Amino acid sequence: MEINVFVADQSHLKYAEDICNEIYLSSLERKTGIAKRTPEYIQEKMLAGKAVIAITEDGEFAGFSYIESWGGKSFVANSGLIVAHKVRGQGLAKRIKEQTFILSRTLFPEAKIFSITTGAAVMKMNYEFGFRPVPFAELTDDPEFWKGCEGCRNFDILTRNEYRLCLCTGLLYDPEEHLEIHHPGE
């Protein structure tokens, strides 16, 4: 089955409910924290050109992720990575992550990109893209970002630890750490 991955637009608004349902089901199955999102929030990301979607050749939702800038656009969060159950195990998450990373670098080339996750697969993908684990203090201090965690089952852990520690791992990609090195004579 062919699956296309691209930046979402107005034509994909109809998938917002499916995306939210898939996120919710995954949070129940994993018994870990995944912040809930509303269909309206997902649609906002699509309309703003800040979402990546995967669609099967039959026109069915297959996966999704979105980005948002924080701290005066000095940080960009890669969030909401989800793959539909029926197409898991085909490497789709990595394709979505790659397009989300490219979108982040295109729209916000100077920004530090971050992700918080409890998922080992997402951590592994982030490492492959050059992310490194960091304490939450190195992520955005924008209070609006942390409000997004309120829908997570572990939000009380985050607040008890004054937004410094939770069950999620913070991962950061700093473009200044990935400058190309030119060697004389090449």
For 97-108, write each residue's pLDDT tens digit: 999 999 999 999
Q: Are 66 and 80 in contact (CB under 8 A)?
A: yes
Give the C-alpha separation, 101 to 136, whole Å: 20
pLDDT of 75 higher than 80 = yes
pLDDT of residue 117: 86
Mean pLDDT for the stretch of residues 69-73 = 89
Per the CB < 8 A criterion, the answer to whether 76 and 39 are in contact is no
Which region among 59-63, 141-145, 160-164 has the lowest average model confidence (pLDDT)?
A: 141-145
pLDDT of 180 above 80:
no
Of the candidate ranges 37-46, 62-71, 150-159, 169-178, the one whose mean pLDDT is the lowest:
150-159
Mean pLDDT of 39-48: 97
Highest mean pLDDT among 21-35, 98-112, 114-128: 98-112
Helix count and strand count (H, E) for the chain? 6, 7
Burial 141-169 (b: 16+ CB within 10 A, else e): ebeebbebbebbebbeebeeeebeebebb
- The arrangement of secondary structure in 3-178, i.e. its CATH architecture, is 3-Layer(aba) Sandwich (3.40)
What is the reported pTM?
A: 0.86
Q: Give residue limits of the domains in the chain.
A: 3-178
Question: If you average pLDDT over every residue of the chain, what do you get?
Answer: 89
Q: What is the pLDDT of residue 78?
A: 93
According to DSSP, the β-strands at 75-83 and 112-117 are parallel
Amino acid at 151: G
